[in-house]
Amino acid sequence: MHTRILSFLLAFFFVCAGTSQAYWIWTPKSGKWTNPKTAVKNTPADQFGFAKSLFENKSYEDSRREFKKLIKNYPKAAEAAEAQYYLGLIDEAQNNLYAAFLAFQKVIDKYPFSQRVPEIISKQYHIGELFMAGAKHKAFGVDMPIEHPALSVFEKVAENAPYGPLAAKARYKRGLVFKNQSQFFEAEEEFERVIKNYPDSEWVEPSKFQLAACRAAVARSSDYDQVATAEAKRKFEKFVEDHPDAVLSEDAQKQIKELALKEAESQFNTGRFYEKQKAFDAARVYYEGVIDNYPDTPWASLAMERLEILEKKK
């Protein structure tokens, strides 16, 4: 009876061992059963080499697992920084852009002396441009920001190297993202930072143009806010004065004409308001102002017609 029980237990053991041999291996050196999925190589260099070979063979998930094991088991090794960098490359290769951005940022946060930092900042900037161009906001295993992801990315690019070669450009692009979302005041803040903090940058000139464009957009969104219209017009005029040969000056001239038309309309409508209130003297002042200041607009002709009507009422 005992022999039968022992035979059954041995058979059960060997069956289980056979089904689990893919997960557990006996290592004579340690005298233990080990799971290859959790086992780590004897040195960080060996572990890194193994993980990198998987990456080069495009076995990305296996490679990810091995790089994470290196960081966990050899956190202070030089290879740990490289392993974190490769985690970013894996997400980048899988088009998981925001996760790649975060993985690259961990290199800067945890290993600030890594030689990869300039390269990483460049990669982050490229990710920001991809988001700005409409790249899909994939978020496997990470929380996406509520705001446009390019805003977070460009902010970090500027923060990681405030006076690096991409800082002014990142600030400018961040302003454009805000502007494209009709967040004009936030956009203006970014453009002003470029002008103030990077006075010698090539992005100062377009930032001045965009500041004026933001003011113009605010003016267009509000029929009664003529202060914004006048300010936008002044900014464009100053831009043309300072940069007469700039490519954007032609666009600025068009914006000035458009804003002048809006100002003329506003003054004409104010004249009409006073006319309806029978305050004819005030109405004449506004109509004459339209004729004197905006003679090339359709509103000047209309103002002349209203003055002729007022003359008949004397």
Domain identity same for 166 and 214:
yes
Q: What is the pLDDT of residues 251-303, one digit of tens each?
A: 777 777 777 777 777 778 878 877 787 777 777 777 788 788 888 888 888 88
Return the closest-CA partner of residue 178 out of 213, 228, 205, 221. Answer: 213
Which residue type occupies 204?
A: V
Confidence at residue 229, expressed as pLDDT on a 0 to 100 scale: 77
Which residue type occupies 144?
A: M
- The mean per-residue pLDDT over the stretch 181-190 comes to 94
Q: What is the pLDDT of residues 110-156, one digit of tens each?
A: 999 999 999 999 999 999 999 999 887 666 677 788 889 999 999 99
Confidence at residue 175, expressed as pLDDT on a 0 to 100 scale: 96
Please tell me the distance from the alpha carbon of residue 123 to that of residue 119, in angstroms, as a whole number. Answer: 6
Structural domain count, the chain: 3
Task: State yes or no: pLDDT of 13 exceeds 50.
Answer: no
Confidence at residue 31, expressed as pLDDT on a 0 to 100 scale: 56
Any domain includes 98: yes
Torsion of CA 282, 288, 294, 298, to 10 degrees: 90
The token duo for 64 is 């990810």
Domain identity same for 237 and 283:
no
Confidence at residue 10, expressed as pLDDT on a 0 to 100 scale: 46
Domain end among 94, 126, 151: 151
Domain identity same for 104 and 189:
no
Domain identity same for 177 and 99:
no
Residue 34: φ, ψ to 5°: -130, 150
The token duo for 243 is 């940069």
Provide the 3-class DSSP secondary structure of residue 21: coil
Which residue type occupies 27?
A: T
Residue with tokens 């060996």: 46
Residue 210: φ, ψ to 5°: -65, -30
Report which DSSP code applies to 224. S
Any domain includes 191: yes
The token duo for 94 is 């899988």
Is the Cα dihedral 144, 145, 151, 153 positive or negative? negative
Domain end among 218, 246, 274: 246
Residues 277, 282, 286: CA angle, nearest 5 degrees: 110
Longest dimension (CA), the chain: 131
Task: State yes or no: pLDDT of 183 exceeds 90.
Answer: yes
Domain identity same for 230 and 167:
yes
pTM for this structure? 0.71
Domain identity same for 70 and 130:
yes
- Contact of 236 with 211, CB cutoff 8 Å: no
Q: What is the pLDDT of residues 49-84, one digit of tens each?
A: 999 999 999 999 999 999 999 999 999 999 999 999
Any domain includes 81: yes
- Contact of 252 with 239, CB cutoff 8 Å: yes
Any domain includes 157: no
Q: Compare 94 and 222 and report the one with higher pLDDT.
A: 94
Task: State yes or no: pLDDT of 6 exceeds 70.
Answer: no
Q: Compare 179 and 305 and report the one with higher pLDDT.
A: 179
Any domain includes 53: yes
Look up the domain containing 198 and give its range.
162-246
Any domain includes 10: no
- CATH, residue 229: 1.25.40.10
Confidence at residue 53, expressed as pLDDT on a 0 to 100 scale: 97
Domain end among 212, 246, 280: 246
Confidence at residue 9, expressed as pLDDT on a 0 to 100 scale: 46
Domain identity same for 114 and 201:
no
Domain identity same for 183 and 128:
no
Cross-strand partners of 25: 34
Any domain includes 90: yes
First to last CA, the chain: 131
Domain identity same for 183 and 147:
no
Alpha helices, DSSP H, located in the chain: 2-20, 44-56, 60-73, 78-93, 97-110, 117-132, 149-160, 167-180, 184-197, 204-220, 226-242, 249-276, 280-293, 298-312
pLDDT band of residue 48 (cuts 50, 70, 90) is very high
- Contact of 150 with 177, CB cutoff 8 Å: yes
Percent of the chain, pLDDT > 70?
Answer: 82
Task: State yes or no: pLDDT of 174 exceeds 80.
Answer: yes
Q: For all residues of the chain together, what is the average pLDDT?
A: 83
Domain identity same for 114 and 183:
no
Domain identity same for 133 and 234:
no
Domain identity same for 147 and 74:
yes
